[in-house]
């Protein structure tokens, strides 16, 4: 660790940024527009990322990965989003990149050997099943129940918004193994599985949604799904705790994706503002167009600094809840605002699909809601950092 302050990327980190940016040139705005409009998974992109070894960036080397930190993963996802791939690109790979953290830390050796190398080489697609219609952000209220029967669990319940479930072979599934009413602490009694998404027992229905349409988000109706005990991640009843470990990194990675979309939106806006002439001058000469874009630059740069601090703290084993939450909040705001201004800069053409900023706008919007809403971030900062009373 260097003694003073440093804002520079290491040579390796810069190499990651440059390599990913180079690789993403193969997938232009037209590629993403077409995937989005056809509601078609970006297989060529996914395969390219897998072939480059990028899916294993944080997975330990003994399972085929590179064992790098969240700083490196955040640079990867920022560049992927920034290329114009946005959330369609990021979501296609996000879960492989960091979603398996609870398995890496708490999974049995057998489960890790069986799954992680296949995730790294791209062969195994995974999704993440937490949200339920009856629980919302209050995850402890989930009711999907796993009942132990000999060497199996039998699961019944319902999940909602599960991204990539249609395309996935396995799901990281959060269940209750003790009912909410019967636990002492509401965070107890939940159990995590990494298991097959058996289509004969799970009905998967895509939700028609506002954007990011190259990757589905789905309702899951789970009816007597049998899960072998070997697919349980760690101990019974500890699932929620295992997920908590991964929340800060998840927030940082989402922040990086929001930042990437904000950056590409701003690039496109600046280009259009220079090209488009109205009233005999480029529209970008008008301060009503130029200032919001310059203002967005300041907000994106400031948000990026907090993100860099958060990932540095995490990778150096220091507490980072405040910074991770702040980074997610600021990057989501700055990214969305930049996309909105990019749309405004394009005038009527902003509303046309052809200029891509409408797609960025739709994709940037989701980061204010998922995986954690801006309100819950403020709840965290209000209660944990400022010590104010909790509403949740």
Ligand X SMILES: Cc1cc2nc3c(=O)[nH]c(=O)nc-3n(C[C@H](O)[C@H](O)[C@H](O)COP(=O)(O)OP(=O)(O)OC[C@H]3O[C@@H](n4cnc5c(N)ncnc54)[C@H](O)[C@@H]3O)c2cc1C
Site residues for ligand X per CB under 6 A? 127-131, 136-137, 161-163, 212, 217, 366, 369-373, 375-376, 379, 391-392
H or E element in which residue 200 lies: none
55 vs 376 by CB, closer to ligand X: 376
90 vs 293 by CB, closer to ligand X: 90
CB atoms closer than 10 angstroms to residue 219? 16
Q: How far is the CB of 268 from ligand X (least distance, A)?
A: 22
348 vs 389 by CB, closer to ligand X: 389
Q: Tokens in use for 55?
A: 């899916």
C-alpha to C-alpha distance for 115 and 112, rounded to whole angstroms: 5
191 vs 217 by CB, closer to ligand X: 217
Instruction: Report DSSP state, residue 341.
Output: H
CA distances from 97 to 23, 54, 116, 321, 383 (A): 17, 8, 11, 20, 30
Q: What is the Cα Rg of the chain in Å?
A: 21
Q: How far is the CB of 175 from ligand X (least distance, A)?
A: 12
Write the CB contacts of 379 (distance below 8 Å, at least 6 apart in sequence): 390, 391, 392
163 vs 345 by CB, closer to ligand X: 163
C-alpha to C-alpha distance for 137 and 135, rounded to whole angstroms: 6
Q: How many residues are given for the chain?
A: 392
* Residue where the block lists tokens 């790098």: 68
Q: How far is the CB of 372 from ligand X (least distance, A)?
A: 6
Q: How far is the CB of 354 from ligand X (least distance, A)?
A: 24
CB atoms closer than 10 angstroms to residue 223? 13
C-alpha to C-alpha distance for 299 and 295, rounded to whole angstroms: 6
Q: How far is the CB of 135 from ligand X (least distance, A)?
A: 7
C-alpha to C-alpha distance for 53 and 58, rounded to whole angstroms: 11
Longest dimension (CA), the chain: 78
141 vs 147 by CB, closer to ligand X: 141
Write the CB contacts of 104 (distance below 8 Å, at least 6 apart in sequence): 58, 59, 60, 63, 112, 116
370 vs 381 by CB, closer to ligand X: 370
318 vs 391 by CB, closer to ligand X: 391
Q: How far is the CB of 294 from ligand X (least distance, A)?
A: 30
68 vs 130 by CB, closer to ligand X: 130
User: For ligand X, which residue has the nearest CB?
Assistant: 136
User: 149: which strand partners?
Assistant: 152
68 vs 80 by CB, closer to ligand X: 80
Q: How far is the CB of 36 from ligand X (least distance, A)?
A: 13
Q: What is the dihedral of CA 178, 182, 188, 190, to 10 degrees?
A: 20
CA distances from 80 to 90, 98, 100, 157 (A): 6, 15, 19, 35
Q: How far is the CB of 362 from ligand X (least distance, A)?
A: 10
Q: How far is the CB of 179 from ligand X (least distance, A)?
A: 20
First-to-last C-alpha distance (Å) of the chain: 38
Write the CB contacts of 354 (distance below 8 Å, at least 6 apart in sequence): none
CB atoms closer than 10 angstroms to residue 97? 26
Q: How far is the CB of 211 from ligand X (least distance, A)?
A: 8
């Amino acid at each position: 660790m260097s003694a003073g302050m440093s804002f520079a990327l290491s040579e390796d980190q810069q190499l990651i940024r440059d390599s990913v940016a180079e690789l993403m040139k193969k997938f232009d705005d037209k590629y993403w527009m077409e995937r989005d409009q056809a509601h078609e998974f970006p297989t060529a992109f996914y395969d390219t990322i897998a072939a480059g070894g990028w899916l294993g960036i944080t997975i330990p080397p003994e399972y085929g990965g590179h064992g790098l930190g969240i700083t490196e993963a955040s640079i990867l996802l920022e560049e992927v989003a920034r290329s114009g791939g946005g959330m369609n690109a990021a979501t296609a790979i996000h879960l492989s990149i960091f979603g398996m953290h609870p398995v890496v830390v708490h999974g049995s050796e057998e489960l890790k050997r069986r799954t992680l190398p296949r995730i790294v080489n791209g062969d195994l697609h995974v999704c993440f099943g937490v949200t339920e219609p009856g629980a919302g952000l209050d995850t402890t209220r989930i009711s999907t129940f796993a009942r132990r029967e000999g060497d199996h669990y039998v699961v019944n319940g319902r999940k909602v918004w599960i991204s990539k479930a249609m395309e996935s072979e396995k799901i990281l599934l959060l269940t209750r193994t003790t009912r909410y009413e019967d636990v002492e602490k509401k965070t107890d009694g939940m159990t995590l599985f990494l298991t097959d998404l058996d289509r004969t027992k799970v009905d998967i229905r895509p939700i028609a949604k506002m954007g990011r349409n190259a990757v589905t988000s789905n309702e899951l109706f789970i009816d007597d799904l049998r899960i072998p005990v070997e697919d349980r991640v760690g101990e019974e009843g500890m699932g929620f705790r295992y997920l908590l470990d991964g929340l800060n990194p998840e927030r940082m990675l989402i922040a990086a994706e929001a930042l990437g979309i904000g950056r590409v939106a701003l690039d496109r806006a600046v280009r259009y503002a220079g090209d488009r002439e109205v009233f005999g001058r480029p529209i970008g000469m008008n301060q009503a167009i130029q200032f919001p874009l310059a203002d967005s630059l300041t907000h994106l740069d400031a948000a990026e600094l907090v993100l860099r601090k958060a990932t540095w703290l995490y990778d150096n084993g220091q507490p980072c809840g405040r910074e991770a939450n702040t980074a997610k909040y600021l990057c989501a705001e700055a990214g969305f605002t930049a996309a909105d201004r990019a749309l405004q800069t394009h005038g009527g053409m902003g509303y046309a699909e052809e200029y891509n900023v409408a797609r960025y706008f739709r994709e940037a919007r989701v980061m204010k809601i998922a995986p954690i809403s801006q309100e819950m971030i403020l709840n965290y900062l209000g209660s944990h950092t400022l010590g104010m009373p909790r509403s949740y």
